Amino acid sequence: PTSRYGTPADFMYFVNYMHKNKIGVILDWVPAHFPKDAHGLAEFDGTSTYEYADPRKGEHPDWGTKVFDFGKSEVKNFLIANALFWVEQYHVDGLRVDAVASILYLDYGRENGQWVPNKYGGNKNLEAVEFFKHLNTVVLGRNHGTLMIAEESTAWPKVTGKAEEDGLAFSMKWNMGWMNDFLEYMKLDPYFRQYNHHKMTFSMTYAYAEKYVLVLSHDEVVHLKCSMISKMPGQYDDKFANLKAAYSFMIGHPGKKLLFMGQEFAQFQEWSEARELDWYLLGEERHAQIKHFVKELLHLYKKTPALYDHDYDPNGFEWVNANDNERSIFSFIRHSKNGKSNLLFVINFTPVERIDYRVGVPRRKQYKLILDSNASEFGGTGKVQPEIYKAVKKECDGMKYSFGYELPAYGVAVFKF
């Protein structure tokens, strides 16, 4: 929010308008540092009022900014009141708290001799830890349903754990590990994916350690990192097929989702705050098709509770085959709480068609194909597949039952059972 766009009342109107249209509003909130501008908080009354006085604690060498003194009650009150003001006066639905790791670690971005250890000789900012517990319990305790989301890039324990159990009490945490592994895998030539299969399965070993958000954010599509479509290997059509497989895996994987603007219609240029999105691309067939595919994925997500209400429970996810590295195929199930509306995902990450593909399933039921990335409306070949598949008693993938399916090159198939 900025006065360049209008008054505080205008922003209130904007948030209200979003809510009337069933759109939530989450703000980026930055308590990690503040600029040295003369008209700002730095040396507010000629002394270090808001920041730590010792520059080894009070300045970020990476960013050339000041660091809040989390040991002062007045500073903590100022920050917590600010967070409450956005939530309770402007009615925003949540705050994404920026650069949490830089607050938690005293040596973040600092060389030896540039930082001061805590009273136990460690690198943890004990005052900041208490600040986060206080902040989150107050904001979430007073405003049920609000989100406090940590952009925390390390393995700090219990970021989303309860404050009473020595957690930081955030609602959710960004899953940077998943993002890095996922993008490294997707960038690979499909031939080499068989040797990097673990990059797509490793995240499930820690998926329930925190309440995660899977993030493909602004950070991933700026500063010469390429847009999502430009990261994909292969020729023009291959890039779109890869992207459909990538987004399908993301939607099926446990954790909440974040996809940055422009990536839903495969913008080729990197994002820039200096210009608008390349909306003209929607006039081109492949871009319109990928947007349509993402829309279908999101509608599937919204109407199938198995994809979201079981996110933080290990019973909600089951690998069918996590070890098919030679063919680079992943198959898994998202279970619903009542066992009635479950989804089976099969995703092929190579350009090789598997006409004799067989997938193991847990029950002798009917499996209905509800999403086929090879449909012509999504830019596929349009080959018509049967809608209903009956499982037979034939062992496959370590399961008693199975059925056969013609899996296309880069094919995504989602079945409901």
Q: How far apart are CA 365 and CA 340, in angstroms?
A: 12
Distance of CA 71 to the CA centre of its chain: 32
Label residues 115-128 b or e (16+ Cβ within 10 Å = b): beeeeeeeeebebb
What amino acid is encoded at 320 in this protein? V
- Tokens 């060498």 locate to 61
Q: How far apart are CA 296 and CA 94, in angstroms?
A: 26
Q: How far apart are CA 136 and CA 80, in angstroms?
A: 9
Catalytically active residues are 98, 151
- Tokens 């030679």 locate to 326
Q: How far apart are CA 308 and CA 53, in angstroms?
A: 46
Q: How far apart are CA 349 and CA 190, in angstroms?
A: 7
Kindly write down the DSSP assignment for every residue of 178-233, as one continuous string.
HHHHHHHHHHS-GGGGGGGTHHHHGGGGTTTSS-EEEEE-GGGGSTTS--HHHHS-
What amino acid is encoded at 155 in this protein? A
